[in-house]
Structure 1
Amino acid sequence: MTEDDEDLRLAVAVSLRGNGFAVDVARDLAGADETLAVNSYDCAVFDRMVPGGDALGYVAARRRTGFDLPVLFLTALGGLGQRVEGLAVGDDYLVKPFEIDELVARVRGLCRRGPIGSPAVLRHGDVELDQGRREVRRGGVLLTVTHKQFLVLELLLANAGRVVPRDDLIRHAWDEHLDPSSNVLDVLVGQLRRKLHEPPVVHTVRGVGYRVG
C-alpha cells in the first residue's frame, strides 16, 4: 500500500491486517518501487497523489512493461473524468472519504481475482492468450496489455463466437464496482483493439456487448 498520509496509512494497514491480510506500506513511489521489486503481492493499493508524482502515471508506465498486478486507487480525486481515467489504468477506484469496511471488501475482491478455469492457452486465429503466463500474442508477437484488458480479452476468447454481455465483462474485469452505464468498458475495448491491430478481432454487438469471431 502506498499512502503519504501517515495516520491514514496506519489505519488502513491495521484494518487490513486485522482482516487477515499481510500488508507492506510505502509513503512514496520510490518506496513502492523498491517494495514491488523484492516482494510478491496479490494486489496493490495506491493513493494517487503521493511524493514522487501521480501514482496513476506510475502504474500506467509499469503496465507498459507487463505489470499486471490488480491495483486499487485510493484518492480524493472523485470527478467523473478522474474516475474514468483511473479505471482505464487501475482495477478499482475508491474516493475519499470512505468506509474501512468497503475498502477491505474491495481489496478482498481484487486479491481473489485470477484467470478463469485452469491455466490454458486460449486461441482465436492468430491471437493467443496464455492464462498461466498472463501473456497475449498476435502472430507470435508479444503484446503489452493492462490487467483489465487481459481479463476482458480472456472472457471474450473463452466465449469465442458468442456475444458476451457488457455486464458479464464488467463483472469479470471490475467485479461489481463499475457502473454498467459507464463508458469505461468501451474505452478499454477501443484501446485493446488498437493493440491487437488489424484485421479486427473484437466486434461490437450494439446494445448487448462484444464478441470475438
Structure 2
Amino acid sequence: MTNEGLQQLVSLMKDWIPDEAAIAVATDNAYSQYISGAHDIRIQKGQMIEKGSVAETVIKKKCKVEKLVDDSIFGVPYYGIGYPIQIEEKEGALIIILPTTHPYSKQQTLTFLTGRNENIWCPIEIKDVSHIESLQKKTWFYTNNEGYQSIYTLKDLTFQLPTNFIRIHRSYIVNISYIMEISRDFSSNIQITIKDGTVLPVSQTYSADVRKKLGF
C-alpha cells in the first residue's frame, strides 16, 4: 500500500468507527500518522513506538491484536485494535484506539474479591465494595469500614470490574453506587465523596472519562 492509499483508507475509517476512537499508523519503529478522537492519547508524528504498545505487538507478531493498555505508556489507558499492514513494502501497524470503557474492551467481570484482613481471607461480593486503593505497592479494597488486601493490581482490576466501577486516579477505583457527592477542592480539581465520608481525588488523566461516565 502506498502512503497516499493509506491516507485515503484512514480518512474513510473515520466515517464508520466511533467518534471517541483515534487512529494511529506506525512503521519503521515510529508513528507516521495520528488522527485524534474524543479519546486522545496524544501521539506525535515521528514518535517512537513504545514497548508494550499495541503497535509494537502487531509488528512483532504480524497479526491482528486486541489489547488493553494501562496509563504507563501514554499517560492515558486505552483499548487498542491493531492490524498488520505493509506501507511501501515496510511492515507496519494500523491501530484503532478506544477508551477502556468501550464495550469491546470488557473481559469477563469479577463477581467477588477475596481479601486478607490480618490472618483471615474473606470473599466479598463486588456490590459491597465501595472503593479500591493502591497504597505502598499493595492493593486494598474497602467494605463496611473494613479494609482488605487483594492479590490483584489496580491495572488488573480496571479491566475486570463491572461497569459501575470507574477508575478516577492512578491510585483509586470507586464504585459509583457509593458516591455521595462530587465537588471541587481549593485548586478546582474534581473530588468524590463516598457514603462513609472518604474523599477521593480525581486526577486530570481520568477527569474526562469520569465526567463522561457520570454525565456532568
TM-score by length of 2: 0.32
- Identify, as 1 or 2, the structure richer in helix: 1
Larger relative contact order (CA 8 Å, sep ≥ 6): 1
- Identify, as 1 or 2, the structure richer in strand: 2
Which structure has the bigger radius of gyration? Answer: 2
